[in-house]
Amino acid sequence: MAAAALRRAIAPGPTLLLRRQILVRLLSTNTQRQPQPTTTSPAELARIKNSIRSAATAPDDLAAHFLQALPHPAFLGDGPIFSLAVSRLVSAGRRDLVTSLLSTSLTALPAPHPSEGFLLRLIALYAQAGMPDHSLSTFRLVRPPTDRALSALLAAYHDAGQHDRAVKAFGDLPAELSIVPGLVSHNVLLKCMVATGDVAGARKVFDGMPDKAGVQPDIVSCNEVLRGYLNTTDYPAFDQLLKDVTGSKRRLKPNVTTYNLRMAALCAKGRSFEAEELLDAMSANGVPPNRESFNTVIGGLCKEGEVDAATRLLKRMPEVPRPGGKGVLPSSETYIVLLEALVQKRAFGPALEVCKECLQNKWPPPFEAVRGLIVGLVKSRKIKHAKELGLAMKKAAKGDAKYEWEKVEATAFQLALAESKA
């Protein structure tokens, strides 16, 4: 029965007719539909959700389970399960099922029509699936058109990498649909303009927001322009804008993104120790640093060859006060950047410890860095450690990679033997 329902639901139609199909479906069902009591028990709904979550569930079966659960209010309200289903179907190359399930979900809502919030969710889900044309079709179902819907559509274009399209939509849709763009829409516009490289244009929009649009920029607006200056290495403009917005005229309070951008700018100028000092300033100002904060500074210190300072900072991460009393856990990126720097610095002992932590966390360390580490350990007469690391890498490797690690070991020990005879 579920398979038959699936076949009926996924009858394909041209993408250009998507909006018309959805409208016809909505009009025909809204005149007939009455609230239906759900027949899916909580236990059955839980089983269906677990099936959707399971990687072993085939795409067609996942879609059938999704359709079976759709009438249940608790399922319709579960945004994360919708997102997970879309992600799994996209990974399987089944965007046809994404289209069918999301359009079918509209008719599962109580009469008279889907809410703006639900349509905004679908706009974002189509963007997640890399289907911005479907995001646009869904945007046009919002009645009356709103700034919230506009900002969701612009974000969908941004996430799909269609930054020029977002800029054009901002220029065309408000006039066409009598929408007054608000702060969020302007901030997405700034993000897209910076992504296209038009930093000067973004700054012009930023400066004109109060008078031309009646919208006061916030710290998010500022951060988008700061990112543009950082990308173009225009550090004088970066510093001046930061001074202007945090000064007495605007008094915007920097957030964690602002600090991260400041630290990135300092590291790019070879002033990573100053960036490290900002970590303490953040906490003192009530802005706890996050993982990106530490990764930025650790990466900067490593580039400057300050691996000892980078290692000390890594050890500090779990101790940094944060709301709830927990520190910041390092990520694979943190360890990999530090590992590569330690190997380059020939600090093989600390590098071995970092590599072991990567393996314990099931983060595959980069091949070249570990190869350099094994060779360095052999040259340092730490043969036992080199063999243990080689064995651990072979256990973690899959397929042909195991053979590559055997070659690395053989080469390293041949090199050590040759040097011992020299």
Other CB atoms closer than 10 Å to residue 209's CB: what's the count? Answer: 21
147-159 and 132-139 are packed helices; what angle lies between their axes, rounded to 10 degrees?
Answer: 170
Dihedral Cα 337, 343, 347, 353, nearest 10 deg: 60
Residue 283: band (very low, low, confident or very high) from pLDDT cuts 50, 70, 90? confident
Would you place residue 227 in the very low, low, confident or very high pLDDT band (cuts 50, 70, 90)?
very high
What is the Cα–Cα distance from 32 to 217, expressed in whole angstroms?
Answer: 47
Give the tens place of pLDDT for each residue, 327-355.
888 888 888 889 989 988 888 888 898 88
pLDDT tens digits, one per residue of 355-381: 888 888 888 888 888 888 888 888 888
Specify the range with the lowest mean pLDDT, choosing from 26-35, 207-216, 218-227: 26-35
Reported confidence tier of residue 6, pLDDT bands at 50, 70, 90? very low
pLDDT for res 326: 74
pLDDT higher than threshold 80 for residue 414: no
| Residue 106 · residue 77 · CB < 8 Å | no
Please give the average per-residue pLDDT across 219-246, as a whole number: 96
Alpha helices in 12-91 (DSSP H): 18-30, 42-53, 59-69, 73-76, 79-91
**What stretch of H or E contains 40?**
none
Q: Is the pLDDT of residue 284 over 90?
A: no
Handedness of CA 195, 200, 203, 208 (dihedral sign): negative
pLDDT at 26: 45
pLDDT at 419 over 80: no
Q: Which long-range contacts (CB under 8 A, 24 or more apart) does 160-167 make?
A: 160/127, 160/130, 160/132, 160/135, 162/132, 163/192, 163/193, 163/195, 163/196, 164/192, 164/196, 165/132, 166/192, 167/192, 167/193, 167/196
Over residues 237-268, the pLDDT tens digits come to: 999 999 999 877 778 999 999 999 999 999 99
For the chain, what is the radius of gyration of the CA atoms? 27
Amino acid at 326: K
Amino acid at 248: S
302, pLDDT greater than 60: yes
| Chain Cα centroid distance, residue 144 | 31
* Confidence band for 107, pLDDT divided at 50, 70 and 90: confident
Give the mean pLDDT of 273-284: 91
- 334 contacts: CB under 8 Å, gap ≥ 6: 291, 294, 295, 298, 314, 317
pLDDT score, position 134: 96
What mean pLDDT is reported for the chain? Answer: 85
Each residue of 155-177: pLDDT tens digit?
999 999 999 999 999 999 999 99
If pLDDT is split at 50, 70 and 90, which confidence band does 186 have? very high
- Report the interhelical angle of 291-303 vs 332-344 (nearest 10°): 10
- Token pair belonging to 240: 């001046």
pLDDT at 23: 46
Portion of the chain with pLDDT greater than 90, in percent: 55
For residue 153, give every residue at least 6 positions away whose Cβ sits within 8 Å of its Cβ, in sequence order, or none: 123, 135, 136, 139, 169, 173
pLDDT of 24 higher than 70: no
**Does residue 212 carry a pLDDT above 60?**
yes
Whether omega before 144 lies within 30 degrees of 0, making that bond cis, reads: yes
Q: How far apart are CA 121 and CA 116, in angstroms?
A: 9
Q: What is the pLDDT of residue 13?
A: 42
pLDDT at 292: 94
Quick check: 17 pLDDT over 60?
no
Q: Which long-range contacts (CB under 8 A, 24 or more apart) does 168-174 make?
A: 173/145, 174/150
